[in-house]
Amino acid sequence: MSAVDRWGDNPFFVLDLPVTATRAEVERAGQKWLGMLEVGMSRAAIYTTPLGVRARTPELVRAAMAELRDPERRIGHELWHLEHEPPSTLDAEDDADAEGPEPEPAALRILGWSRP
Partner 1 sequence: MSALGIEGLVAQLVAFTAALAFAWLLGVANREESRPGFFGLAQWLVLGLVGLLSGAMLLRGELLGAPVLAMTGVLAWPWAFARGWLIPRGHWRAAWWLVRSSSWTWHDDNKGGALVAAAWAALRAGGPSRALAFVEARCERSDCGAAHLLATGLVDDAAARRWIGSLCEFEGVAAPRMARRLAVQWCAAEAATRGAWSEVARFAGDPDADATVAMLAVVARRMLGAAPCPDDAELERAWKHTPDRADWRPLVERARAHRPAEPTATPAVPREAEPDVHRAALLLHARLLAHARPTAAEVAATARAWDRALADARFTDGVRRRAAAVGARTDALAILRARVEADLVEVVRTTGVALGEDPDRVHDTLGRVRSALHQALLDELELVADGLLTRVRARRALPLHEEWREYLALRGAFTSAVEHTGPNLQRLGYAIVNPAICALGVWLWNDRKNRVHANQMFRWLLREAEIAGDAEAVALHRRNVDCGR
Q: Which among 9-17, 28-36, 37-45, 98-106 is the span making contact with partner 1, rule CB under 8 A?
A: 98-106
Distance CA 5, CA 43 (A): 21
Q: Let me know: does 85 contact 50? Beta carbons within 8 Å.
A: yes
In angstroms and rounded to an integer, the radius of gyration of the C-alpha atoms of the chain is 21
Site for partner 1 contains 24 (CB under 8 A): no
Site for partner 1 contains 50 (CB under 8 A): yes
* Minimum CB–partner distance for residue 24 and partner 1 (Å): 14
* Minimum CB–partner distance for residue 100 and partner 1 (Å): 6
- Angle formed by the axes of helices 58-69 and 71-78, nearest 10°: 110
Contacting partner 1 (CB under 8 A), which of 6, 18, 28, 60?
6
Distance CA 106, CA 21 (A): 57
Neighbours of 78 (CB within 10 A): 16
Contacting partner 1 (CB under 8 A), which of 21, 52, 59, 67?
52
Binding residues (CB under 8 A) for partner 1: these are 2-4, 6-7, 50-52, 71-72, 74-76, 78-80, 82, 85, 87, 90-91, 93-94, 97-98, 100-108, 110-116
